[in-house]
Amino acid sequence: MLFTSYRFILFILILFILYYIIPKKLQWMLLLLASYLFYSIAGLRYLIYIATTTLSTYLISLRLNQLQSEQSSFLKEQKDSLDREGKKAYKASMKLKQRRWLVLCLIINFGILAVLKYSAFTITNFNGVLNLLGTKPLPLIGFVLPLGISFYTFQTMGYLIDIYREKYPHERNIFKLALFISFFPQLIQGPISRFDDLKETLFSEHSIDGRNISFGLQRILWGFFKKLVIADRMLIAVNTIVRNPEEFQGVYVLVGMFFYAITLYSDFTGGIDITIGVAEVLGIRIRENFERPYFSKSIAEYWRRWHITLGTWFKEYLFYPISISKSMLELTKSSKRRVGDWLGRRVSIYIASIVVWLITGIWHGAAWNFVVWGLLNCFFILASQECNPLYERFHSRFHIRHTFAYRLFQVGRTFWLMSFLRAFDCYRDVGTTFQMYSTLVTRWNYSELFQGGLMQLGLTIADYIVLTAAVTLLLVVSLQGRSGSVREKLAARPFSLQYAAYTVLFIAILILGAYGVGYDASQFIYSQF
Amino acid sequence: MEIIIEILSGLHPEVDFETMDTLIDNKILDSFDIVSIVSDISDEFDITIPVEEIVPKNFNSAKALYAMVERLSEE
């Protein structure tokens, strides 16, 4: 069920009404029912996957908790009889037992994800090797990816790792855990929530709160505006360019990159606005996933502000566990001895970064273009980290670091660098992407653009006027957001002004949304990841 | 404590680690710095810093780092 479909709007309207008229203690159960209903509409057979993830995580979290309780009782009982070494050895043996259960659960759940998402990619590449050896290729197996599997698997495994690390107590009620895993607004494209963040408001009782409802509906409206007025309209031009690489080269590649940057931002943040807005109406707080990423001054900063919950997940559950693992620290130590301190201390950071970015790449899709995209992001982050001393020298010599013009340059540089890298996502093919890069210098057709070129991209003059106005509004709202919540600022204005602003937004969505008879709003880009 | 200040100053000589207590909150230390700090502290104090200890409250100041090192050394 698309967020932008009439069915979804009807679905949430009914849910909102039921949610506030039933006894409060039943609210979370209603959400569970609604989430499973939402999921089953996508396909009843997919329920088996989410149910397996829920059940395996629940049972293993129970086992982890049992082992942790056993350990603390034993240590309390043996407080005086065991020496420090004895306690250490006992703790290590208990940790090993817990780790085995954790690994089993990780294998089950990441295994499901890997088989469903990466089988075709793996077999295709394996067949490539078999072909070179002159052997008969293996038959291709393709699975339809269950809705939101990449998101809920990461969220659930994050929960289990937290239980293993004893960050917070496990959830005793399997149905509450099931709701945490399947909560429908965030099922399609995240954010990837943490259990301790979400549980307070997800399972608590909520009374009707005018502010929550009004703020939530505003956020939903803003999300629809970004998705329907900007993203879906601009996507037409992006698709025209990237699906016809023979025809649209040179300056069009540049236009495609620029348009895709706006499309992806409006699409993804629009979807997250709807998610957070729906949750807000229900009185549930979901963590923000973006912090004006296009105002970032470096790629590293961009990744701290774009899809924040995925970046945090990778940092907490992959980057640190790899980079500060015993074996990696040993490697760092020996590298420092062999190649010196400077290079030695970088070994673990480089290895962990490459692994993280490789996995970030294939998380986005089972294809080589995503692998290359991930590794290039890694390269630029590490390179810019290494160039920091150079930048520092440059800044101290020229004293321009805090000037507006230089900050603008940094923001523009980051925006374009990220847009260039995203071409791998647009063209979905490594060779074509490099070929299109090369046409930026070989096809010198820059004047064509304003001699009718823009009109060949599937958009009319009216579309360009709408897009210019809408993107300007988006930019103004983002700029305003730097000094605090825009909705709070608007709420402080007279009611008539607020009413007028939201009425205009609503009418704009109705009139200017990229739909019409026979038109079906596009699926959210991130829902396919 | 001196050793910890020395390790931190090696990474960011411009910061006053005696007083600064928002090293993570103010994004002075990034994840690469944290890996270097963990590696140096593990070497200097011969302790293992488990990944669950990598939380802002343990890395926000030199004092917090020292408290973590002391606690882990006693365990």
At B2-25, the pLDDT tens digits run: 889 989 998 888 888 888 889 998
* Residue A120 or residue A18, greater confidence: A18
Alpha-carbon A131 to chain mean position: 36
Tokens linked to A204: 């608590």
Is residue A518 pLDDT above 60, yes or no?
Answer: no
Across all residues in chain A, what is the average pLDDT? 90
Smallest CA–CA distance, residue A75 to chain B, in Å, is 13
Looking at residue A76, its pLDDT comes to: 87
What pLDDT, on the 0 to 100 scale, is given for residue A88? 84
- Local confidence band at A514 (pLDDT 50, 70, 90 cut-offs): low
Q: Cβ–Cβ contacts within 10 Å for residue A518, how many?
A: 5
**Angle at the Cα of B32 from the Cα atoms of B27 and B33, rounded to 5 degrees:** 65
CA closest to B74 among chain A residues: A84
What confidence tier does A516 reach under pLDDT thresholds 50, 70, 90? very low
**Burial letters for A77-103: b for 16+ Cβ neighbours within 10 Å, e otherwise?**
eeeeeeeeeeeeeeeeebbeebeebbe
pLDDT tens-digit map of A472-494 = 999 999 998 888 888 888 888 88
The answer to whether the CB of A277 falls within 8 A of the CB of A435 is no
Count of CB atoms within 10 A of residue A32's CB? 19
Q: Which residues have CB under 8 Å from A81's CB, separation 6+?
A: none
Per-residue pLDDT tens over the stretch A134-158:
888 888 777 778 888 999 999 999 9
Distance CA B52, CA A162 (A): 8
A345 CB neighbours in chain B (<8 A) are: 36, 39
Predicted pLDDT of residue A169: 92
Residue A29 binned pLDDT confidence (cut-offs 50, 70, 90): very high
- For A285-341, write each residue's pLDDT tens digit: 999 999 999 999 999 899 999 999 999 999 999 999 999 999 999 998 888 888 888
Q: What is the mean pLDDT of residues A75-99?
A: 87
Is the minimum CB–CB distance between B52 and chain A shorter than 8 Å?
yes
pLDDT value at B44 more than 80:
yes
Choose the mutation target among B12, B52, B58 for the interface with A, i.e. most A CBs under 10 Å.
B52
A194: which chain B residues are within 8 Å (Cβ-Cβ)? none
pLDDT value at A500 more than 90: no
Tell me whether B14 touches chain A (CB under 8 Å): no
Tell me which of A99-113, A200-214, A381-395 is least confident. A381-395
Classify the C-alpha dihedral A486-A489-A491-A493 as positive or negative: negative
- The residues spanned by each domain of chain B are 2-11+19-74
Distance between CA atoms of residues A275 and A296, nearest Å: 24
pLDDT in tens, A372-402: 999 999 999 999 888 888 888 888 888 887 8
B73 Cβ under 8 Å from any chain A Cβ: no
A3 or A54, which is more confident?
Answer: A54
pLDDT tens-digit series, residues A344-377: 888 999 999 999 999 999 988 888 999 999 999 9
Question: CB of B44 within 8 Å of any CB in chain A?
Answer: no
DSSP assignment, residue A352? H
Per-residue tokens: A421: 């890298």
Q: Which residues of B touch A320 (CB under 8 A)?
A: 31, 34-35, 51, 54
How many whole angstroms separate alpha carbon A226 and alpha carbon A228?
6
Cβ atoms within 10 Å, residue A196: 12
Chain A residue with the nearest C-alpha to that of B12:
A389
Contact yes or no for A147/A39 (Cβ under 8 A)? yes
Q: Minimal CA–CA distance to A525: which of A270, A178, A281? A: A270
A161: nearest CA in chain B?
A: B52
How many percent of chain A have pLDDT more than 70? Answer: 97
Res. A430: pLDDT tops 70: yes
Domain ranges across chain A: 6-207, 294-428
CA A253/CA A238 separation, integer angstroms:
9
Which residues of chain A are at the B interface, by a Cβ-Cβ cutoff of 8 Å?
A: 88, 165-167, 300, 304, 315-316, 319-321, 323-324, 326, 329, 332-333, 345, 348-349, 352, 385
Query: Smallest Cα–Cα separation from A34: which of A10, A12, A55?
Result: A12
Alpha carbons B70 and B68: distance in angstroms, whole number: 5
Higher pLDDT, A30 or A516: A30
**Positive or negative torsion for Cα A165, A168, A172, A176:** negative
Q: Quick check: A323 and B35 CB within 8 A?
A: yes
User: For residue A307, what is the DSSP state?
Assistant: S
| CB nearest A348 (choices: B30, B35, B50) | B35
At residue A402, φ and ψ (nearest 5 deg) are -95, 10
Distances (CA, A) of A185 to A13, A146, A329: 13, 16, 41
Q: Cβ B52–A166 below 8 Å, yes or no?
A: yes
Q: List b or e across B23-58, with b for residues whose CB sees 16 or more CB atoms inside 10 angstroms.
A: bbeeebbebbbbbbbbbbbbeeeebebebbbbeeeb
Cβ <8 Å between A167 and B52: yes
Tell me the two tokens of residue A170. 């496990």
How far does the CA of residue A295 sit from the closest CA of chain B (Å)?
Answer: 17
Chain B contact set for A344 (CB, 8 A): none
Determine which of A82-86, A458-462, A513-517 has the lowest per-residue pLDDT on average: A513-517
CA A88 to chain centroid: 39
pTM above 0.95, yes or no: no
Helices A404-427 and A430-442 pack at an angle, to 10 degrees, of 130
Contact B36 A349 (CB under 8 A): yes
Task: For A253-290, write each residue's pLDDT tens digit.
Answer: 999 999 999 999 999 999 999 999 999 999 999 999 99
Residues of chain B neighbouring A300 (CB-CB closer than 8 A): 30
pLDDT value for A188 = 85
Residues of B in contact with A166 (CB under 8 A): 52
A62: tokens are: 């129970």
Give the three-class secondary structure for A96: helix
Inter-chain touch A329–B54, beta carbons under 8 Å: no
Distance from CA of A395 to the nearest CA of B (A): 14
* Mean pLDDT, residues A12-24: 95
Query: A369 to chain B nearest CA, in Å?
Result: 27
- From the list B43, B48, B52, the residue facing A333 with the nearest CB is B43
Give residue A115's identity as a one-letter amino acid code: V
The pLDDT value given to residue A295: 94
Contact assignment for A315 to B39 by CB distance below 8 Å: no
Band (A528; pLDDT cuts 50, 70, 90): low
B2-11+19-74: CATH topology is: 1.10.1200
Q: What is the DSSP letter of A526?
A: G
Distance, CA of A283 to CA of A178 (rounded, Å): 19
Smallest Cα distance from B75 to chain A, Å: 8
pLDDT at A336: 86
